[in-house]
Amino acid sequence: MLTNITADDIIKTVILLYKGDDPVPFALRIIAFFMCLILPFSNFIGSFSKESDALYTDYEKHEKAEREMTEFIFGKNDICVSPAGSDTADGSAASPLRTVAAAKALASQKRKEGVTDTITVWIKGGEYLIDSPLEFTRDDENTSYIACPEESVKFTGAVKVSGWQAGSINGRSALSAEIPDGVSFVNLIKNGKTVPQTRYPESGYFHVKETNHEGGLFTDENTPWDWSYGDLELTPDNKQEIKEFANPGSVTLRVLHYWADEISTLKGYDGKRNRILFTKPCSMKIEKDQKYYYENVREALDKEGEWYLDTAEGKLWYIPLPGESADNLDISYAVTEKLINADGCGNLTFEGITFQNTDSVIPEPEKGSWLSEYGMRFPQAEYDCGGALEFRSCENINIRYCRFENIGLCAVKFNRYVKNSSVTGCDFINTGATGIFINGDNTADDSLATQGITVRDNLIDGYGRYFYSAIGVFITHAKNCVIENNEICNGYYTAVSVGWLWGYAFSVTQNIKIRNNLIYNIGQGWLSDMGGIYTLGSQPGTEITGNVIHNVAADTGEGGYGGWGIYLDEGSQHINVYKNLVYACGSQSFHQHYGENNIIKNNIFALSEKGEVQSSFYHRDNQTGYKDEASHNEFTLEKNIILTRGTPAYTEIGARDYTDKGNIYWDLKNRSNIYCDWNSANNPFARVFAPQMKDLGLFNDAVIENPQFRDPENFDFTLPDNSPLLQKTGFEKWNYNTAGTLTEHTAG
């Protein structure tokens, strides 16, 4: 019957045997052309064939467990804090202190008096202003800070604006308030939410008119890095009407390009050369059509509910919403970026506390690199951002069932030499930079290695809201860490990033377990070169398993690329990727740039926009460190289900240096007529079909059959109970509904 004739059969009878790395042969182009004519008819006929009946059982969703909060038992050495207390009190339950700083000092005094048991600071409900960070040292060890059960405890870094006066700005009625000299901020809070600052344009972006590196720090001849000219100027979009800003020193310029988010203050406008000038050099080159916009623009303040800070005059302007007035307006501004700073401290617990309302201060570049010599920040992952809670040289730090909201920088940062610590059951809502940052040194000295960090059962919803290239959970150099059962969503860049070494050199990062996380709505079309899960460098023992990842979308504009589900980047080695469900990503479900000996097994890669599997093994001459060129294998793709919809199963097979065996392939549009792309240009004449894939050494033991997902068009990937296909191939079902948090969480 005609329905039994596949594209494979047609091609195999006419195409010449082809192997090698040369451009796509002419014969393949001819066959691809005719297949474009034949396949629609073949698919139409094949659509009448009846699939076998399948039986399905719903995957069970795990029950959300009750949170195990600490029972309120006031010990003889415990301390009580209440907003109604007094710092001259004794800190007992009957006579509480008023501030957390006073409680911390009392706990330290008890230590000096010989108390060695754990001291619990019980915190009664209310709001506690932390206008400068609480400093924890070795004198503050073995202490727990716990919210009293059923009470709402808030540590806030913001103070209320007072002295509102009626006035007008840009022809609009507005309110203004004097701000103390030297005070500047970007986070304004009302009713628990950040208030939008003025933006120009109000929505969307301007686009750089031309590539012109005049005025930059470097030229082609002397740049330390091909990606950087140290640009200090850009040529504005013709659509940008305002160029001479009323107060350029108050205006922030944002340039979004590649994987970087450049932030600088305006210096002015050069009308003769038609150039916007700014103060902080860009770490990556500014080129034609890249996106940019402005914040805190006086001329753009024309909408109810927006604000503008005039740093020259020290005045805050706000256009009130209906019903708001100088008498009833309740707005606060952030006065600190850090709430807690601990160094050399051990055995600290924070439980049930809401940490909120800190500022997004642009950090100084970390010293030690050529970038910092020129005042340029590291152009990836907002690496140099600090934390609202920051720990260094600490051990046994445990943060349990806390809430972080409206945080300006990272929420929690374990910043070098931290061991055996955890963040469990917390909510991270509207975080300016990274949610949880685990940062260490790449050291072979185990005593100095950051290790044993557990990140479990957290909701990270809305990270990188000010520093766009920030991460949900970020590990640079660390080992023996667990990232599991978290829900991570609504960020502009990678959700989970592990490793901080480009290439095959020694890396301390190993044995990282990334499992059962639910990751979605990542990228959102802002930046490029990202993954739901992203790795770098050699990582023996690292496992990526049980995760559900979908809707990872990179910049779709000129020069934008790379919204991958799982992305093993430069030098990724010895990583096992198995039993993950990845679908509906903007690029491919899985991508490896270059690496070695990774195992990609028993995953479902489905319905991503540009295909399912990409290998981009480029720059071979610049790669050193792997043992044997002849036996080098990027990864092994084994027993995966690869589901397409008129898109390639593999892309860039011209750059192939990997093996596969026993994978299941199906196309919802072309059915058994699976194809791959020679490159990533989506050129119909560069398509390679199954017989030629086998000639190229791929599609080994390929099974081209419908896996019979229950409703893949609506992203229900439940597999049938009675599937002979699964029995034949050895593909193992798993319950992907167990990905995500273990307890109930509250979004913003």
Q: Average pLDDT of 144-151?
A: 97
Residues forming a β-bridge with 300:
none
Please report the pLDDT score of residue 34 as a whole number: 53
- Name the residue ranges covered by the structural domains of the chain: 138-157+337-444+453-478, 161-333
Give the β-pairing of 576-578 and 487-491. Answer: unpaired
Is 90 exceeded by the pLDDT of residue 725?
Answer: yes
Query: Quick check: 656 and 696 in contact, CB under 8 A?
Result: yes
Please report the pLDDT score of residue 11 as a whole number: 43
Please report the pLDDT score of residue 654 as a whole number: 81
Q: What is the pLDDT of residues 440-481, one digit of tens each?
A: 999 999 999 999 999 999 999 999 999 999 999 999 999 999
Residues forming a β-bridge with 143:
119, 348
Is 60 exceeded by the pLDDT of residue 518?
Answer: yes
Please report the pLDDT score of residue 124 as a whole number: 98
Please report the pLDDT score of residue 6 as a whole number: 45
Is 60 exceeded by the pLDDT of residue 747?
Answer: yes
- Amino acid at residue number 161: V
Residue whose token pair is 């399912």: 612
Is 70 exceeded by the pLDDT of residue 38?
Answer: no
- Tokens representing 132 are 């400068």
Report the candidate in 584, 596, 586 with the shortest Cα–Cα distance to residue 556.
586
SS3 22: coil
Say how many CA atoms lie within 13 Å of 158 toward its Cβ: 29
SS3 248: helix
- Tokens representing 527 are 């930046």
Please report the pLDDT score of residue 682 as a whole number: 76
Please report the pLDDT score of residue 390 as a whole number: 98
- Tokens representing 729 are 């191939």
The beta strand positions in 633-735, using DSSP E, are: 635-638, 641-644, 650-651, 659-661, 664-667, 675-677, 687-689, 703-704
Q: Average pLDDT of 560-571?
A: 96
Least-confidence region, from 57-66, 198-207, 343-352? 57-66
Is 70 exceeded by the pLDDT of residue 371?
Answer: yes
CA–CA distance, 566 with 531 (Å, rounded to integer): 6
Is 90 exceeded by the pLDDT of residue 393?
Answer: yes
Report the candidate in 541, 542, 561 with the shortest Cα–Cα distance to residue 552.
561
Please report the pLDDT score of residue 50 as a whole number: 47
Please report the pLDDT score of residue 366 as a whole number: 81
Work out the pLDDT band at 20, boundaries 50, 70, 90. very low
SS3 557: coil
Give the chain's length: 748
Give the rounded distance of the alpha carbon of 593 from its chain centre: 19
Average pLDDT of the chain, as a whole number: 92
Reduce the secondary structure of 133-172 to three states and give it as a string: CEEECHHHCCEEEEECCCCCEEEECEEECCCCEEEEECCE
Please report the pLDDT score of residue 622 as a whole number: 56
Cβ atoms < 10 Å from Cβ of 437: 27
Query: φ and ψ at 199, to 5 degrees?
Result: -140, 140
Work out the pLDDT band at 365, boundaries 50, 70, 90. confident
Give the rounded distance of the alpha carbon of 63 from its chain centre: 27
Q: What is the DSSP letter of 10?
A: H
- Tokens representing 379 are 């152009």
Report the candidate in 154, 157, 153, 152 with the shortest Cα–Cα distance to residue 130.
157
Using CA atoms of 284, 466, 437, 581 in order, give the dihedral in degrees to the nearest 10: -90
Report the candidate in 734, 746, 723 with the shortest Cα–Cα distance to residue 60.
734
Is 50 exceeded by the pLDDT of residue 21?
Answer: no
CA–CA distance, 358 with 100 (Å, rounded to integer): 17
Q: Average pLDDT of 529-558?
A: 96
Q: Average pLDDT of 325-338?
A: 97
Report the candidate in 280, 465, 256 with the shortest Cα–Cα distance to residue 359.
465
Which bin fits 182, alpha (ψ -120 to 50), beta or left (φ > 0)?
left
Identify the residue with better confidence: 390 or 60. 390
DSSP for 504-521 reads: SS----EEEEEES-EEEE
Burial 504-543, CB ≥16 within 10 A → b, else e: beebbbbebbbbbbbbbbbbbebbbbbbbbbbbbbbeebb
Q: What is the pLDDT of residues 521-543, one digit of tens each?
A: 999 999 999 999 999 999 999 99
Work out the pLDDT band at 619, boundaries 50, 70, 90. low
Report the candidate in 549, 544, 548 with the shortest Cα–Cα distance to residue 498.
544
Is 70 exceeded by the pLDDT of residue 201?
Answer: yes
Give the β-pairing of 119-123 and 143-147. Answer: parallel
SS3 117: coil
Is 50 exceeded by the pLDDT of residue 49?
Answer: no
Residue whose token pair is 């309110």: 175
CA–CA distance, 33 with 28 (Å, rounded to integer): 9
- Amino acid at residue number 591: H
Please report the pLDDT score of residue 624 as a whole number: 65
Q: What is the pLDDT of residues 626-664, one digit of tens each?
A: 767 777 899 999 999 999 999 999 999 987 789 999 999
Please report the pLDDT score of residue 79 as a whole number: 98
Work out the pLDDT band at 592, boundaries 50, 70, 90. very high
Work out the pLDDT band at 26, boundaries 50, 70, 90. low
Is 60 exceeded by the pLDDT of residue 31?
Answer: no
Residue whose token pair is 């011209």: 654
Please report the pLDDT score of residue 621 as a whole number: 59
Classify residue 182 by burial, with Cβ atoms within 10 Å: 0-12, 13-18, 19+: exposed
Query: Quick check: 187 and 295 in contact, CB under 8 A?
Result: no
Query: Quick check: 15 and 26 in contact, CB under 8 A?
Result: no
CA–CA distance, 29 with 686 (Å, rounded to integer): 6
CA–CA distance, 445 with 450 (Å, rounded to integer): 10
Work out the pLDDT band at 618, boundaries 50, 70, 90. low
Classify residue 93 by burial, with Cβ atoms within 10 Å: 0-12, 13-18, 19+: middle
Q: Average pLDDT of 499-519?
A: 96
Please report the pLDDT score of residue 13 as a whole number: 36
Work out the pLDDT band at 545, boundaries 50, 70, 90. very high
- Tokens representing 381 are 């992952």
- Tokens representing 559 are 């020069």
Q: What is the pLDDT of residues 63-102, one digit of tens each?
A: 899 999 999 999 999 999 999 999 999 999 999 999 999 9
Residues forming a β-bridge with 482:
454, 513
Q: What is the pLDDT of residues 245-279, one digit of tens each?
A: 999 999 999 999 999 999 999 999 999 999 999 99
CA–CA distance, 481 with 514 (Å, rounded to integer): 9
Query: Quick check: 175 and 164 in contact, CB under 8 A?
Result: yes
Q: What is the DSSP letter of 4?
A: G
Q: Average pLDDT of 416-434?
A: 98
Is 50 exceeded by the pLDDT of residue 304?
Answer: yes
* Distances from the Cα of 301 to the Cα of 44, 197, 201, 235, 316, angstroms: 57, 9, 11, 24, 12
* Distances from the Cα of 395 to the Cα of 342, 343, 478, angstroms: 11, 10, 14
Share of the chain above pLDDT 70, in %: 92
- Amino acid at residue number 402: C
